[in-house]
Structure 1
């Protein structure tokens, strides 16, 4: 195991949070609504990608329960171990999504729930472009983030210090469209994680589709 200062910041953060993260977000209705929307649009036995798969619940568990296959990728070894134990039917890989080779037109659905915030703006934009290419034409992607015009600012999340980068709401939508996705709808909410050190957070959910006939 590397020392904390040698590991990606997201790995340090989520290794520390572990199962507390799942408990804090267990009552996130907007997350579950986005999952239901995606599942309704997936073909039978769809191939799906969960970016920043965390503990495997609720995202991978819901997709598996609906009869789909799941590849979950997370930079945190602690999260991957929890997910593999809790959702053994899915495949989980410990690694950085920015380094993972993604084949074109290989997924029917992609989930990106709050997994961009420890990346630079350029990295977020580049990843969205790669994810759009990895979607099959007609495939769907759901994204959730904390919209804010901030870049590499230090915040405290559930008692843990972390540096975060995001975009204002209209710029998140612009980034997704620039990647080649159609934003079918967007939903804004305010959510307070169930944790003594957590405060209210603005959440933005985008429901997207890749149009076209392939690349």
Structure 2
């Protein structure tokens, strides 16, 4: 029996694709306004690319997507055949062997085990160019719950711990935001010098 590299997301891809809403799009657009026009952006846990990758591509960014679900990556490639997409878990991804002006991980970090969250944040920090920016979502309170779609455990480390992980990864936390659905976002900058 092979391990499910998507952690249950491939099995529920159809339901996720049907339920995806534009909640969070405003927060990501505000973050993207701080990026250099047309820069390379890495979307970790991109899913089908709707609506976040679609908006970033429409705004002229050079989008690269990583998702561990073959069904999600197939949907992404169908929608955006000219964008780079890799079907692999973020914790094992080579991030296309390059650096990026921006990296987003919306709806992903809290799905990962605690140690993997720390590692992914640190790896994302090293994949940012100097001056590059990171955004990810996770509840501001430390808590755990079972994901509605996959039934698997989700864990938020809480705002204080996430800010600490960003600093330990060499990033400067630049703010936090909340979308109209109550989802919490963290932003950070890789120093230029």
- Over alpha carbons, which structure has the higher Rg? 1
Superposed displacement of residue 142, structure 1? 1.0
Shift in CA distance, 99/27, structure 1 to aligned 2, threshold 3 Å:
closer
Superposed displacement of residue 204, structure 1? 1.3
Superposed displacement of residue 118, structure 1? 3.0
Structure 1 segments of 4+ aligned residues over 3 angstroms from their partners: 102-105
Structural RMSD (CA):
2.3
Compute the TM-score of the two structures, normalised by the length of structure 2: 0.88
Superposed displacement of residue 205, structure 1? 0.5
Aligned to 1:203: 183
Aligned to 2:42: 49
Please say if residues 55 and 80 of structure 1, whose CA atoms lie closer than 8 Å, have aligned partners that are also in contact.
yes
Aligned to 2:8: 13
Please say if residues 104 and 136 of structure 1, whose CA atoms lie closer than 8 Å, have aligned partners that are also in contact.
no
Please, which runs of 5 or more residues in structure 2 have no aligned partner? none
Superposed displacement of residue 78, structure 1? 0.7
Count of residue correspondences: 193
Is residue 96 from structure 1 mapped to residue 89 from structure 2 by the alignment? Answer: yes
Please, which runs of 5 or more residues in structure 1 have no aligned partner? 192-201
Please say if residues 18 and 79 of structure 1, whose CA atoms lie closer than 8 Å, have aligned partners that are also in contact.
yes
Aligned to 2:116: 123
| CA shift digits 1:189-213 (9 cap, x unpaired) | 573xxxxxxxxxx521112211133
Distance 1:102 1:12 in 2: 19
| CA shift digits 1:24-76 (9 cap, x unpaired) | 34141xx1122212321222321110000111111211111111111100011
Distance 1:147 1:23 in 2: 27
Compute the TM-score of the two structures, normalised by the length of structure 1: 0.80
Aligned to 2:103: 110
